[in-house]
Amino acid sequence: MNDTAKTGSQTSWLDQVKWNSEGLVPVITQDFQSRRVLTHAWLNREALALAVQEGRAIYWSRSRNKLWRKGEESGHIQKLHGVFLDCDGDTISYLVEQLGGIACHTGRESCFYRRLEDGNWQTVDPVLKDPTIIYAGGKATH
Amino acid sequence: MNDTAKTGSQTSWLDQVKWNSEGLVPVITQDFQSRRVLTHAWLNREALALAVQEGRAIYWSRSRNKLWRKGEESGHIQKLHGVFLDCDGDTISYLVEQLGGIACHTGRESCFYRRLEDGNWQTVDPVLKDPTIIYAGGKATH
């Protein structure tokens, strides 16, 4: 994973991804050891190319309409250990090492911290760190 | 998970899901033991309500524009062990027991069988069963 990822003959793997009409595909991010799903996000071509080039998870933020280098505000960078493509070519998955052990902007390990139990969404994960501390001096946007 | 899931006061958990403009949300499906990600698919409100009611993975097929009871053609039903909602309320994850050990219509365990290696998507999983046998007499649509 080096800067040849952006050069001519090395970009065909990016062409094999079936970007949607907005130029995006969803990406599932898992912890590389526990395999817990940490986040569901989106990628454009540039985000995926840069993630592979830089060896860290980079996404496309649909709400902010810009590249999102995970951890740029929180310090909770995700080191990239693997990139996978699904059978239809329209979904990516990342295997990552989550620095700080916190992927969610709420201060939890994973964004999927609510489990359906008896017809209610129950919070089943603790807040590991207060988000106001994580994002001190910054905006809480993961 | 019974038929009260569809009755009045029991549906508020469905209202807490932030369905997109098409009435859909993405769903990540993982094996409940290995935590391997098997598929990425979509849900509408009916699919999610029925999945919980019936205790099996049910999706909304965007290509066929109809409910998709996973395994209805292949026999590879996914028993539902858990349903999770993410922090933004706009993505679901399923924990399932994959009957037959095959989630992908290509006859592989997971749809994410291609890994990026040296600028190429390499197939890293074997075909466990020939899809023409899996779907004998039916159409290969998972």
- pLDDT tens, position by position, A84-114: 999 999 999 999 999 999 999 999 999 999 9
Contacts of A15 in chain B (CB under 8 A): none
Q: What is the ipTM of this complex?
A: 0.89
Question: Does pLDDT of A9 surpass 60?
Answer: no
The confidence score (pLDDT) of residue B56 equals 98
What CATH number does the domain located at B3-103 have?
Answer: 3.10.20.810
Of the partner residues A10, A26, A104, the one whose CB lies closest to the CB of residue B26: A26
pTM of the model: 0.90
Q: What is the pLDDT along chain B (142 residues), one digit of tens a residue?
A: 444 444 445 679 999 999 999 999 999 999 999 999 999 999 999 999 999 999 999 999 999 999 999 999 889 999 999 999 999 999 999 999 999 999 999 999 999 999 999 999 999 999 999 999 998 855 445 5
Distance between terminal CA atoms of chain B? 25
Burial of A82 (0-12, 13-18, 19+ CB in 10 A): middle
CATH number of A3-101: 3.10.20.810
Domain spans, chain B: 3-103
Sort out which chain B residues have CB atoms less than 8 A from A37's CB and list them.
28, 30, 35, 37, 93
Distance from the Cα of A135 to chain B's closest Cα (Å) equals 17
Residues of chain A with Cβ-Cβ distance to B13 below 8 Å are 116, 119-121
| Structure-token pair, residue A52 | 């592979």
Instruction: Name residues 21-60 of chain A within 8 A of B (Cβ).
Output: 26, 28, 30, 34-37, 39-40, 52
Q: Does B115 touch chain A (CB under 8 A)?
A: yes
Question: Which one-letter amino acid corresponds to residue A106?
Answer: T
Whole-angstrom distance, CA of residue B115 vs CA of residue A92: 10
